[in-house]
């Protein structure tokens, strides 16, 4: 039986983890490779790096991080941030990424998704959708795509965009609520559900996790196939094991294999 | 253990880097110190290797074209497998290429070593998403040396899958493992000295490293 995935997400800037990770026994909390190893050992189902490096020149640093992570962690790795062309996808896959997330570039040119999927297969192309609710309270939900970290509105309806990129060949959608991101008030379940119901590909819920019940709700109410979180894991509020046990107790199918030996 | 070489075929596809690292670690942990693993695009190196691995991430037609673009590679693989009986492992699209043909985007011929077609996954439950993506358990169709010592079944270890297409072998006995996803999905195949996994051993943590170690010891 296929299990629900828990995906810790690390924001990486110039080769370093930005929010910081407080793990016991971690030699260097700012090194994404060390953090990845800790999550690997803890039994995370996948790992996500989002590169928020502003400059194009620092791209080599990210590739090095991906490559060193792939050497040490035998688990799936999604990498996003700054992917603008098929060549960027190729470079990340060759460095060791298993899936590549495309965000702004897919909004500007949805055919990039088609070109990348045809070249590398739909299974490794993730489209990251950042959306904000634009409907008033009490109205049926309506969400709009925002780019550049939620700053720039596009006028594009999030559900229609999700359908479009899934048709173009996205193998998975990473759906982040810009209203909830960083608020710890839970996923925007209306958004997650609306997109999950609209497409046939898996949806990852993202943005706003404050506690373990939010992870359960992302799947049970949001219809997500996987749940992504950052802070609650980075700052030691919950371990991956606790999150899995909590979700399993709520009736979700989780992978509870004993984790690999830690290799820190 | 005597010295042996393993060729991981580099044909411009696949996550070769992590496959290489996983094989190196599995060999080390299994105490197979004489094992040398090389990524290679050289048919002569493939011909000289004791074991051959065909990874594959990507679209079927694109992978097939990549393989054909290396002069002499398909011939070297065919000689090694059919004439010399060397152990061969295909991973993901590398396994799908063992089939007679693939039906992703366009109809494409495979190697034909495991007769059958590679077609789209169609789960009976429409709520199930495609790609089949994530960790699933393995349900044995028959026993095989590659899975020796690995707990399978619903309570067993998990393997990591990410695919929209699957191989359906013509000969039922070629199927070794299945996964359940709105119906059975072929998870591993084998015939004589040829084997393949739809899941990614190099991404499947404990199960994956154990399977790779079994492959390195396999004497078909």
B40-52: pLDDT as tens digits = 999 999 999 999 9
Which of A67, A119, A201 comes nearest B17 by C-beta?
Answer: A67
Collapse the DSSP code of B107 into the 3-class scheme (helix H, G, I; strand E, B; otherwise coil) and give the result. Answer: coil
Residue range B105-132: mean pLDDT, rounded:
94
Residues of chain B with Cβ-Cβ distance to A255 below 8 Å are 135, 158
* The predicted structure's pLDDT at residue A28: 76
* The predicted structure's pLDDT at residue A63: 93
Distance in angstroms (rounded) separating the CA atoms of residues A210 and B212: 39
Residues of chain A with Cβ-Cβ distance to B130 below 8 Å are 200-201
* The predicted structure's pLDDT at residue A262: 42
Q: Which of B92, B104, B132, B163 is catalytic?
A: B92
Residue range B4-15: mean pLDDT, rounded:
86
Residues of chain B with Cβ-Cβ distance to A225 below 8 Å are 129, 133-134
Q: Which residues contact B42 (CB under 8 A, 6 or more apart)?
A: none
Residue A1 to residue B21, Cβ atoms within 8 A: no
Which of A70, A117, A121 comes nearest B57 by C-beta?
Answer: A121
Under DSSP, the state recorded for A201 is: S
* The predicted structure's pLDDT at residue A36: 94
Q: Which of B63, B104, B132, B202 is catalytic?
A: B202
* The predicted structure's pLDDT at residue A261: 47
Distance in angstroms (rounded) separating the CA atoms of residues B99 and B182: 22
Answer yes or no: is the ipTM higher than 0.85: yes
Compare all CA atoms of chain A with the CA of B163 and give the residue at the minimum distance: A123
Taking 50 as the pLDDT cut, the residues of chain A under it are 261-264
* The predicted structure's pLDDT at residue B14: 61
Q: What's the predicted TM-score (pTM) here? A: 0.94
Q: Which residues contact A110 (CB under 8 A, 6 or more apart)?
A: A161, A164, A165, A168
Residue B133 to residue A225, Cβ atoms within 8 A: yes
Strand order in the sheet with B4-9: B35-40, B4-9, B51-54, B88-91, B194-197, B184-191, B175-180, B139-140
Distance in angstroms (rounded) separating the CA atoms of residues B220 and B193: 5
How buried is A83 (Cβ within 10 angstroms: 0-12 exposed, 13-18 middle, 19+ buried)?
buried
Helices A240-249, A32-42: axis angle to 10 degrees equals 40
Name the nearest CA neighbour of A148 among A136, A135, A132, A163.
A132
Our CA-based measurement puts residue B201 at a distance from the nearest CA of chain A, in whole angstroms, of 9
What share of residues in chain A are helix, strand, coil (percent, to 5)? 40, 25, 40
Name the nearest CA neighbour of A166 among A113, A121, A222, A216.
A113
Alpha carbon distance, N-terminus to C-terminus of chain A: 31
B173 is catalytic: no
Residues of chain A with Cβ-Cβ distance to B25 below 8 Å are 74
Beta bridge partners of residue B118, listed in sequence order: B102, B167
Our CA-based measurement puts residue B83 at a distance from the nearest CA of chain A, in whole angstroms, of 32
Average pLDDT, chain B: 94
Does A237 or B147 have the greater pLDDT score?
Answer: B147
Phi, psi of B10, rounded to the nearest 5 degrees: -100, 105
Give the count of beta carbons closer than 10 Å to the beta carbon of residue B61.
17
Distance in angstroms (rounded) separating the CA atoms of residues A132 and A134: 6
Residue A3 to residue B158, Cβ atoms within 8 A: yes
Q: Is the pLDDT of residue B194 over 70?
A: yes
Report the alpha-carbon angle B195-B199-B205, nearest 5: 110
């Amino acid at each position: 039986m296929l299990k629900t995935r828990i995906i810790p997400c690390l924001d990486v800037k110039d080769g370093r983890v930005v929010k910081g990770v407080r793990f016991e026994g971690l030699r260097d909390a700012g090194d994404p490779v060390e953090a990845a190893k800790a999550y690997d050992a803890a039994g995370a189902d996948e790992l996500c790096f989002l590169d928020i490096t502003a400059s194009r020149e620092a791209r080599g640093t990210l590739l090095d991080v991906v490559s060193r992570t792939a050497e040490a962690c035998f688990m799936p790795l999604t990498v996003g941030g700054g992917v603008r062309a098929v060549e960027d996808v190729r470079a990340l896959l060759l460095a060791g990424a298993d899936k590549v997330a495309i965000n702004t570039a897919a909004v500007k040119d949805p055919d990039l998704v088609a070109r990348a999927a045809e070249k590398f297969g739909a299974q490794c192309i993730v489209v990251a959708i950042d959306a904000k609710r634009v409907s008033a309270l009490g109205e049926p939900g309506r969400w709009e795509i925002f780019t550049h970290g939620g700053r720039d509105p596009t006028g594009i309806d999030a559900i229609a965009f999700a359908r479009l990129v899934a048709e173009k060949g996205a193998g998975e959608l990473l759906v982040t609520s810009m209203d909830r991101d960083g608020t710890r008030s839970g996923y925007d379940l209306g958004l997650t559900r609306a997109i999950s119901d609209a497409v046939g590909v898996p949806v990852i819920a993202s943005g706003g996790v404050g506690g373990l019940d939010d992870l359960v709700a992302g799947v049970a109410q949001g219809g997500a196939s996987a749940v992504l979180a950052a802070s609650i894991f980075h700052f030691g509020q919950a371990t991956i094991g606790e999150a899995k046990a909590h979700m399993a107790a709520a009736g979700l199918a989780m992978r509870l294999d004993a984790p690999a030996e830690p290799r820190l | 253990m005597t010295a042996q070489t393993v060729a991981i075929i580099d044909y411009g596809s696949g996550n070769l880097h992590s496959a290489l690292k996983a094989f190196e670690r599995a060999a080390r942990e299994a105490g197979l110190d004489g094992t040398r693993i090389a990524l290679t695009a050289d048919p002569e190196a493939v011909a000289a290797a004791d074991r051959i691995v065909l990874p594959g991430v990507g679209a079927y037609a694109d992978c097939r074209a990549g393989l054909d673009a290396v002069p002499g590679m398909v011939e070297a693989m065919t000689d090694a497998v059919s004439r010399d009986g060397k152990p061969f492992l295909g991973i993901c699209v590398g396994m799908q290429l063992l089939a007679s043909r693939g039906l992703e985007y366009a109809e494409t011929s495979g190697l034909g070593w495991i007769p059958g077609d590679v077609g789209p996954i169609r789960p009976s439950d429409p709520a199930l998403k495609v790609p089949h993506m994530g960790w699933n358990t393995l349900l044995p169709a028959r026993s095989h040396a590659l899975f020796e010592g690995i707990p399978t079944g619903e309570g067993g270890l998990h393997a990591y899958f990410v695919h929209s297409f699957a191989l359906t072998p013509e000969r039922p006995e070629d199927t070794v493992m299945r996964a359940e996803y709105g119906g059975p999905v072929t998870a591993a195949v084998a015939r004589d000295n040829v084997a393949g996994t739809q899941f990614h051993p190099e991404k499947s943590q404990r199960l994956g490293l154990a399977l790779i170690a079994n492959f390195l010891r396999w004497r078909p």
